[in-house]
A and B are shown apart, each in its own frame.
Chain A
Amino acid sequence: MIGEIGHFGLILALVVAVLQGTLPMIGASKGNVALMRFASSAALVQFLAVSISFIALTIAYVGSDFSIVNVAQNSHSLKPMLYKISGVWGNHEGSLLLWAWILALFGFAVAAFGRNLPDGLKARVLSVQGMIGIGFLLFILFTSNPFERIDPAPFDGRGLNPLLQDPGLAFHPPFLYLGYVGLSITFSFAIAALIEGKVDPAWARWVRPWTLAAWGFLTLGIALGSWWAYYELGWGGWWFWDPVENASFMPWLVSTALLHSAIVVEKRDALKNWTILLAIIAFSLSLLGTFLVRSGVLNSVHAFASDPARGVFILGFLVLVIGGSLILYAVRAPTMKGGGLFAPISREGALILNNLLLSTAAATVLLGTLYPLFLDALSGAKVSVGPPYFNATFLPLIIPLIIALAFGPFLAWKRADLKGVFSRLKLAIVSVCVIVGVSWWVTDDGPILAFVGMGLFAWLVTAVFVELADRIKLFRTSLRQSLKRFLNLPRSAYGMSIAHLGVAMVILGVTASEAWQSERLDVMQPGETVVVGGYDFQFEGAERLEGPNYGILRGSFNVKRNGSLVADLRPEQRVYESPPMETTEAAIWPMLSADLYVVIGEEDGKGGYATRIYHKPFISWIWIGAIVMFIGGGFSLSDRRFRIGAASARKKQTQKTAEAAGA
């Protein structure tokens, strides 16, 4: 029964999506207010319908209803509750349903929070959302129905996949999808603007919060995935430039660019075409990622090389959505003109540089990801494009970006005084010298790039604080005055500083852990001690235990530094019987200064065990930095100017003027 309700919910959602995708659009072009307003109700109903469907599947999972194929294949009655729930989106069909649900949720959010959007714009935005919804719902209903039944129902489910049963992994897809799908809103705004042929600062102001939200979730989703890889895969890596990782990284790069270019639209009424294009590309790359991963055209997914029908469907959908919107762009964009003078040395000039570097980086990642495919299609030759390529092309783009990132916030709009900025950044130059000197002195050795990275870190951190001090006139006025100014700063200013600080933290983490990690691979006998990164790791022995549904080999290490105990680490290797697989549970002792990372492996038959021990300096800062970036985004998002629901009187005034200006 529950399956039928879920299925019905999907069909209902499809019907509503078709209406939502057409009627408001017609209404907007004819000026029919009733049809336009219908968009909001439709978005609400669609959200409810997909929610019913999603809840139905969740209930089926929670109640272990194995008469539903999807549940039987991916769940098990003995699974812990958390993982029964996360199992809902831990498979192809369910994850698509999550996609559709988040899409409907965002549509509903626009309807609910966008109260002071002009009727026409709102109708068009929701209409485009409806069209995207049609595509996904059709895809689910025709190629990936999660509610299919089997008769007779199996006694128990097949899936008790140990790797899925991990908190990091349980929450990774939802965040990633919130990011991907959040970009659909920006996309819809861009399409609506193209149809209306009008982009103004008010438009940018409506778009920015959605972009910020999507970007924040994407940041968190990617970080969560890389953190999982780090602690679960057992060789200490956290980023592999794998096609699937790239698929999430490209939209991130483009949405970062978009975030910045939208500011230029908002403040200077320029870069409109470019911003629109970025909005289209950001969502297009999200869709492309979905295609790459689910169609099996790239190596990384070959075991999942599924039903070709799915690939054909997604590709067709892709062509329709991306191709259609780019054609619309080619037709409509040339008619939109930006205004105002534009000096190279100015805030907007710096933001253009930011956009140039970020979009080139995204293009590079795209090229590297697709190149093997292109070459194979055009010449039949096979090449691999691995981490060395991406490192070689990505870093030269990112280094100047970080250098410029320090300047940007100091530059005034319209026309800035570079000399003045340089003199303000003297302190940053000093701190670069200090940090590079100190790291040279401490480590005594390392690749050039490591010192470049440390320098960039120092440069950026100092610049962020100097800029903040500058803004509040620290030491140039009384402390009380400064404090007052500090408290009165707009939230978006905090947001920017915090997010940039997050970037600096990531740089620190990446640089130090890549350049100065120590690694030891040994076969250790019980009682043996090795020294890694200045810590003494003593292997006390290993024991075999029985877990709930797996066998455990647990090693025991005590870690000392200068004779005093730092940590007791117990890495495990788990052996599952059905399905037969082994997982590695690395034991990690995270500290702010370094992570200690121990893995235990095979026995050598003579009482010794293969071990892998790492000392990874500052690696936690990668994820701390990502969280800080997310928080920065959140701060910007909470800026009073973006709060759309309860606007202050002054804000309403602004909005009205903006609308008047646009009309």
Chain B
Amino acid sequence: MTINFGQASRRLMYVLCLLGTIGFVGFASAVFVEERLDDPVKEERVRDIAEGIRCLVCQNQSILDSNAGLARDLRAIVRERILAGDTDDQVQNYLVSRYGDWVLLNPPFKMRTLVLWLSPMLVLLFGGFLVVRFLRRKSAAPTENSVSRPLTDAEKKTFDQLMAEDDGERGRS
């Protein structure tokens, strides 16, 4: 049982509801009275930083959106650090040094996230390679294909009919 179990996030509720699995979890309002910085530019920075910090007790929600007690405290700390003249990175480091990389919703690029960040590109390149290979084979070596699967007359007729239904109307094939 963690601190904010009593007021655990609406987000969690949402998550449970999404799959029709409901448990009883308390809620807190989504808007709250809170000290804000007078300087709108600084308050905007608070907002941006808070949006990237994961609320520790409310599952996949940033501390910006959460009214959990700890999220409020952390927002207050972010404001305090900014007022003290910290840069955005320094504020982040302040929190990371206490709670670890886990609090960053944007996983930092490191050895341990190498696979995470590079994979999308690798998957795309590998997929692209397969596609190119496939197209090469298909467009360069027609004989191979005709050997692998000769079309019967009946099949040809089927195709022609199938094709005709759509492309006939387009008159462009």
> Scoring B residues 97 to 125 as 1 if CB is less than 8 Å from chain A, else 0, what string do you get?
00011111111000011011101100110
Question: A389 contacts B22, CB within 8 Å?
Answer: no
- CB of A143 within 8 A of chain B? no
Question: B138 contacts A584, CB within 8 Å?
Answer: no
What B residues does A388 contact at CB under 8 A?
A: 52, 105-106
What B residues does A603 contact at CB under 8 A?
A: 33
Q: Which of A595-642 contact B (CB under 8 A)?
A: 599-604, 608, 610-612, 641
- CB of A359 within 8 A of chain B? yes
Question: B13 contacts A580, CB within 8 Å?
Answer: no
Of all chain A residues, the one with the shortest Cβ separation from B5 is A303
- Please give the distance in Å from A506's CB to the nearest CB on chain B: 19
- Please give the distance in Å from A231's CB to the nearest CB on chain B: 12
* Cβ contact of B33, chosen from A248, A604, A661, cutoff 8 A: A604
What A residues does B169 contact at CB under 8 A?
A: 471, 485, 488-490, 493
Question: A383 contacts B25, CB within 8 Å?
Answer: no
* Cβ contact of A359, chosen from B8, B28, B127, cutoff 8 A: B127
What A residues does B151 contact at CB under 8 A?
A: 339
Of all chain A residues, the one with the shortest Cβ separation from B108 is A383
> Taking A161-B22, A384-B54 as contacts, is the C-beta distance between A601 and B33 under 8 angstroms?
yes
- Please give the distance in Å from B146's CB to the nearest CB on chain A: 8
> Scoring B residues 39 to 67 as 1 if CB is less than 8 Å from chain A, else 0, what string do you get?
00000000000001010000111100100
| Count: A-B pairs, CB below 8 Å | 270
* Cβ contact of A413, chosen from B19, B123, B167, cutoff 8 A: B167
Question: B32 contacts A610, CB within 8 Å?
Answer: yes
Question: B24 contacts A579, CB within 8 Å?
Answer: yes
Of all chain A residues, the one with the shortest Cβ separation from B28 is A582
What A residues does B101 contact at CB under 8 A?
A: 381-384
A612 CA / B133 CA spacing, docked (Å) = 55
Of all chain A residues, the one with the shortest Cβ separation from B130 is A356
Of all chain B residues, the one with the shortest Cβ separation from A352 is B131
Question: B60 contacts A242, CB within 8 Å?
Answer: yes
> Scoring A residues 125 to 166 as 1 if CB is less than 8 Å from chain B, else 0, what string do you get?
000000000000000000000000000000000010101100
- CB of B165 within 8 A of chain A? yes
What B residues does A579 contact at CB under 8 A?
A: 24, 26
What B residues does A371 contact at CB under 8 A?
A: 107, 113, 115-116
* Cβ contact of A661, chosen from B18, B26, B115, B154, cutoff 8 A: B154
Which one of A7-15, A25-33, A361-369, A434-442 is at the B interface?
A: A361-369
What A residues does B89 contact at CB under 8 A?
A: none
A471 CA / B65 CA spacing, docked (Å) = 49
A253 CA / B59 CA spacing, docked (Å) = 25
What A residues does B161 contact at CB under 8 A?
A: 653-654, 657
Question: A300 contacts B15, CB within 8 Å?
Answer: yes
What A residues does B61 contact at CB under 8 A?
A: 240
What B residues does A657 contact at CB under 8 A?
A: 154, 157-158, 161
Question: B60 contacts A386, CB within 8 Å?
Answer: yes
What A residues does B134 contact at CB under 8 A?
A: 342, 352
* Cβ contact of A658, chosen from B62, B102, B113, B158, cutoff 8 A: B158
Of all chain B residues, the one with the shortest Cβ separation from A158 is B24
Question: B33 contacts A610, CB within 8 Å?
Answer: yes
> Taking A244-B18, A610-B31, A657-B157 as contacts, is the C-beta distance between A337 and B107 under 8 angstroms?
no
Question: A300 contacts B152, CB within 8 Å?
Answer: no
Interface size range of chain B in the complex: 35 or more
Question: A245 contacts B31, CB within 8 Å?
Answer: no
- Please give the distance in Å from A6's CB to the nearest CB on chain B: 18
What B residues does A608 contact at CB under 8 A?
A: 33
Question: A237 contacts B65, CB within 8 Å?
Answer: yes
Of all chain B residues, the one with the shortest Cβ separation from A641 is B165
* Cβ contact of A173, chosen from B19, B25, B149, cutoff 8 A: B19
> Scoring B residues 150 to 173 as 1 if CB is less than 8 Å from chain A, else 0, what string do you get?
011011011101110111011011
> Taking A388-B52, A492-B166, A581-B26 as contacts, is the C-beta distance between A356 and B19 under 8 angstroms?
no
What A residues does B54 contact at CB under 8 A?
A: 384, 386
What B residues does A581 contact at CB under 8 A?
A: 24-27
- CB of B83 within 8 A of chain A? no
Of all chain A residues, the one with the shortest Cβ separation from B142 is A341
What A residues does B135 contact at CB under 8 A?
A: 342-344, 349, 352
- CB of B90 within 8 A of chain A? no
> Scoring A residues 228 to 261 as 1 if CB is less than 8 Å from chain B, else 0, what string do you get?
1100111101001011110010000000000000
- Please give the distance in Å from A367's CB to the nearest CB on chain B: 5
Subset of 26 A-B contacts with CB under 8 Å: A92-B21, A94-B20, A163-B22, A164-B17, A200-B155, A234-B10, A267-B163, A300-B59, A352-B131, A364-B120, A381-B101, A383-B113, A384-B105, A385-B116, A386-B105, A489-B169, A581-B25, A582-B26, A602-B31, A602-B33, A604-B33, A654-B158, A654-B161, A657-B161, A658-B158, A661-B155
Q: Which residues of B are interface residues toward A (Cβ below 8 A)? A: 8, 10-34, 36, 52, 54, 59-62, 65, 100-107, 112-113, 115-117, 119-120, 123-124, 127-128, 131, 134-135, 138-139, 142, 145, 148-149, 151-152, 154-155, 157-159, 161-163, 165-167, 169-170, 172-173
